[in-house]
Structure 1
Amino acid sequence: MAQVSRKDGRHVNILSTLLLLCLKAVKVLSMEAWAVTEWGSAHATFYGGSDAQGTMGGACGYGNLYSIGYGVKSTALSNGLLNNGLSCGACFKIVCQLEASKWCYPGKEVVVTATNACPPGSTGGWCNPPKLHFDLSYPMFAQLAHRVAGVIPVNYKRVPCERQGGIRFSMHGNPWFDYVLVHNVGGMGAVCSVAIKGDKTGWISMSHNWGQFWSASTHLVGQSLAFQVRLCKGKVQEFYNVAPSNWGFGQTFEADYNF
């Protein structure tokens, strides 16, 4: 059997270490876009008009952003930031790169909630992979830069979401299909898993349907409901006595606490 000299072995070890570091770097880079809590670079445009009416609805499932509590402080995300819809509800702090655009307003920053997707093929191609892009509501863009800029270079980072009241669960579906929209989520905002529990059942894992809609094929009508929610940053919380036994589809229930 051929033997590797100590010198050759040292080279092999060095190469192995470099390869491992490269693989780790690729993994970190793949996570940084949507999970970064230090400053990253992207670009931003705007949509929805001066009253932000055009931002209602969208790929996260929140519907009317005014009634749900997010208002005009919203953004659509390119695919590189959306994380297959799991970034819905996340909060981002955004500042215009003053040194890179003459249209930036100095000393201005906004915090926005991810409420929609900016799909590939959108005007200008800014949301095409692998670009990192925020399509802000116009009122948010107008706080950062002059409208004539159209598109601006920005710095961004994930920040905790400040919410009023408890986490909320909107019940949809039918007696054999529970279809729940999770919103008004505090902490890091984005939900990565949900479980539901009736007063006669154990915890039942829900499937990610789309946006922040979660579903389970189970019959829980007539039972009071509890939920277990895990944020994408790993924190898990259980919310008991969320809905009474006479809950109905089309209703929204608020827990007594939040993240």
Structure 2
Amino acid sequence: MILAIDMGNTNTVIGGIDEKKTYFIERVTTDQNRTATEYAVSIKNILEMCDIDVADIEGAILSSVVPPLNSVILTAVEKVTGLRPLLVGSGIKTGMNILMDNPKSVGSDQIVDAVAASHEHPLPLIVIDMGTATTMCVVDKHGNYIGGIILPGLKVSLDSLSSKTAQLPYISLEVPDRVIGKNTIDCMRAGIIFGNVDMIDGIIDRMEQELGQPPTVVATGRDSPASSPPCAATKSSATTPCC
């Protein structure tokens, strides 16, 4: 089993995987004030809660978009397992060419998204990863990472709307039944959800034009369930929603 860790800006996702199955997936808060020992305790507790024997872990890998915490997490994993995790970066050998102006600038989360999706789905493809930020990365028909976009995530947009306006409340993120809201909360939800959905659908259309053929579209990330159901792209025959 491989201990796979995806450290995002808001949450750090910890999972156990091998070539056949995923054994567990758990989340902890990403906090730059926590020490390696504190993270080690969290990892150890997760393994115990999921009935995972540390001896069954043969390796570990870390994908991170929070560089200041990289050494902390690497040390934490080593304290628990005795293994030093592999850190995903532009220099790691994935078998995928990164055709960007500066390949080193590509986030490790986008690299692992693209590599994983390419192994599971037909090319070309677009991977939508919806977390604190929403990223969309594109792999061409030859298996090359050719670029993408980065935009504010659903909750970032919602929190910004609430914090910058005097009369709009902080609300939960739920898919409304209709676009035309009948109260302030439903109006906000409709604006955030359907606004993001139509924006993503429009970007997919533009990317398809540049690719010259229909892509496979894969949606993943913490907030993908909120947007995938009403998203027109996830209803096309070339799409795999919410991997």
TM-score, with structure 2 as normaliser: 0.26
RCO higher in structure (CA 8 A, sep ≥6): 1
Structure possessing the higher radius of gyration over alpha carbons? 1
Structure 1 or 2: more helix by fraction: 2
Structure 1 or 2: more strand by fraction: 1
